[in-house]
Chains A and B, each alone.
Chain A
Amino acid sequence: MSDERFDLSCPVPLSNYPHVLLAHGGGGRLTQRLIDQLFVPAFDNALLSELHDGAVLNVGGKRLAFSTDSFVVKPLFFPGGDIGSLAVHGTVNDLAMCGARPLALSAGLILEEGLPMEDLRRIVGSMRDAASKVGVPIVTGDTKVVDRGKGDGVFVNVTGVGLVRDGIEIAPRRARPGDAVLVSGEIAVHGIAIMSVREGLRFDTELVSDSAPLDGLVDGLLAVAGENVHVLRDPTRGGVASTLNEIAGQANVGIRLEESRIPVSEAVRGACEILGLDPLYVANEGKCLVIVAPEAADAALAALRSHPLGASAARIGEVVPDHPGKVVMKSRIGGLRVVDLLTGEQLPRIC
């Protein structure tokens, strides 16, 4: 019976793949296709089709932002955080990207039989600390346990609701030609930090995840630039390149970046050079992209830079009327190239 209810009208085959691949969760083209061809047609509604980090509901004259995010990360504890703080920050950030102040969070935990109780205690403690730093309570939750070998220690889902600030309207489709593109700091830190512990890669400087709550940073930004802020997005999996491609597609505009202006730390650049990865596609967990009207760009940048999490913020490009739906970048030596969505996950090269 459930099969009959689940009747998709879309005649296009999902893809050539009869099984789900890891790349379907990689934030690239395959993820995009799952969303566009399976989820959006299946759940079809106006709020969902905004395709923002969260939905905004009108409730009794107030606008409520509503967002959910699930976390699977290996290892559970990594330099700069753990799965608990990461999950709280992730959902707080999704709400912040809607221009909302978080009101309350839920915590859903899927535990694997055999997980050390001490690990669970640490994770829960870190969720509590992360939430209390932001001043948001975790008000409801759920726990399930799966057989040993059926989970990776802990999977965490955090859902949140928040109140959108008055006079603020933030949505990907609001990006328009002339707008400036800002990033709040050095990119690709989280993905490289996780990869270096997971794969046992050692570098001279320890790489620490940038996992952090962005509500304070966004507060300062919106206080200064307010309605001139057109889009906010946190470029998590798939990185800056994938997020900007999504925005370009949703707003039907082009985006032009300048490689030399994009802040990347020495350590991350070094790691990316060694592994053959492009930092533009590597995940961030404490950064946001800001698309802002040109007249407010300087003030917005100054506001970001005045916050500790935004000290390395930079203006990295602009929204253009040309090549709608595409992101292009001027390379360090002056050539232009298209920055496309990746098909799957970035894989380290042979040589």
Chain B
Amino acid sequence: MRFVDEYRSEESVRKFARAIRGLVTRPWTLMEICGGQTHTLIRFGIDEMLPPSVTMVHGPGCPVCVTPLEMLDRALAIAARPGVIFTSFGDMLRVPGSKTDLLSLKASGADVRMVYSPLDAVEIAKRNAGKEVVFFAVGFETTAPANATAVWQAKKLGIRNFSLLVSHVLVPPAMEVILGSPTNRVQGFLAAGHVCTVMGYREYEPIAAKYRIPVVVTGFEPLDLMQGIQMTLKALEEGRFGVENQYARSVTRDGNVKARAILREVFEVCDRPWRGIGVIPQSGWRLRDEYAGHDAVLKFDVGTITTEEPSVCIAGQVLQGLKKPGDCAAFGKECTPERPLGAPMVSSEGACAAYYNYGRGI
């Protein structure tokens, strides 16, 4: 298949693997930000083609994983209300809250629907004037423009029964938390290609300069990852820092200008809690006051929600690259994709699920 097979060619990937072996003179630890990249690394066995001195640690870029339990419980409380149609992308449906998940709620009678686009949820709201339609707006900068467009459109068309439950998070503040930690191991980053397709990479330049590290904007196919890793290692070996762009077929320095304009129109930056990490200042988006009528948090008073994470789960350390899934005592035992204790085991992009599904460390 064009535009896919070229990037999965065994020969090209091996060429980069050889180049990396010839390049590396000492141990390095790199982090890929995005869960989609983690998935590719493990699915294709790329990490096993690297020299043993190169360690890949897996970043916090799995939207399902970092969505706080409190937000999941809020979603479940809203979805359980009569007269609500709760819509979401597929992989949020199976994520357990404190007591249940959206699929189980659906089985016991709630109107929970999987959609492929938030604009489909706006359509549902248009056709069901007597119901409240809520879309669970989860994810990084990648999914945000479509969600912003949905709420912008609903406001413009006067569809007042449509609201967003917003749990958007931003990559750069999370990178700073990781780099600023006294226990940080990460020496170079593969930045998430799709996030940068929207946002560009200007905002990574001051981070790379402040922490004197290389950041390489990287795609998602095996060859992209190999090249991204090679570029990062080359910069490290040569003592260079700064931002480079491996994913130039999709990413420009300024990103998608139109998408960024609608994001500015609809969202403003706010503090957000990240599951397993805690509150990161200025690390998320919420709806601006002009869109408050479409904010599900304001529309549905579900009272105070208190949550407690299973103590054995080390999701937070996994998400910060401090530990690997196999380091967890519960991995593959009490904690499996069927009965996940922590979010990285739920989503197919989660590091724990990727390790489990592809048979690592079991």
Q: State the A residues within 8 Å of B (CB).
A: 16-23, 29-30, 199, 201, 266, 269-270, 273, 275-276, 326, 328, 331-338, 340, 343-344, 347-351
Residues B63 and A351 in contact, CB atoms below 8 Å apart? yes
* Residues of chain B lying within 8 A (CB to CB) of residue A351: 36, 63, 139-140, 142-143, 194
* Residues of chain B lying within 8 A (CB to CB) of residue A334: 10, 13-14, 45, 49
* Residues of chain B lying within 8 A (CB to CB) of residue A270: 1
Residues B10 and A332 in contact, CB atoms below 8 Å apart? yes
B46 within 8 A of A: yes
B349 within 8 A of A: yes
Besides the known contacts A331-B43, A333-B49, A340-B359, 7 further A-B residue pairs in the complex with CB atoms under 8 A apart = A29-B338, A269-B1, A276-B348, A333-B13, A337-B358, A343-B94, A350-B64
Residues B338 and A331 in contact, CB atoms below 8 Å apart? no
Pick the most buried of A201, A266, A334, A348: most chain B CB atoms within 10 A of its CB. Answer: A334
Cross-interface CB contact of A349 among B1, B45, B91, B359, cutoff 8 Å: B91
B153 within 8 A of A: no
> A278 to chain B: closest CB distance in Å?
9
Residues A348 and B91 in contact, CB atoms below 8 Å apart? yes
* Residues of chain B lying within 8 A (CB to CB) of residue A199: 116
> A171 to chain B: closest CB distance in Å?
27
B138 within 8 A of A: yes
Stretch of B101-109, B230-238, B313-321 lying at the A interface: B101-109
Q: Is the interface of A mostly helix, strand, loop or mixed?
A: loop
Residues A19 and B359 in contact, CB atoms below 8 Å apart? no
Give the number of chain B interface residues (Cβ < 8 Å).
47
Cross-interface CB contact of B4 among A273, A326, A328, cutoff 8 Å: A273
B48 within 8 A of A: yes
* Residues of chain B lying within 8 A (CB to CB) of residue A332: 8-10, 44, 222
* Residues of chain B lying within 8 A (CB to CB) of residue A350: 63-64, 89, 91-92, 138-139, 143, 347, 349
A350 to B13: give the CA distance in the assembly, Å.
27
Q: A350-B89, A350-B92, A351-B36 are in contact. Are A326 and B359 (CB under 8 A)?
A: yes
A175 to B10: give the CA distance in the assembly, Å.
31
Nearest chain B residue, comparing its CB with the CB of A338 = B359
Residues A349 and B48 in contact, CB atoms below 8 Å apart? no
The interface bits of chain B over 10-43 (1 if a CB of A lies within 8 angstroms of the residue's CB, else 0) are 1001100000000000000000000010000011
Residues B107 and A333 in contact, CB atoms below 8 Å apart? no
Residues A22 and B103 in contact, CB atoms below 8 Å apart? yes
Residues A344 and B94 in contact, CB atoms below 8 Å apart? yes
Residues A335 and B48 in contact, CB atoms below 8 Å apart? yes
B124 within 8 A of A: no
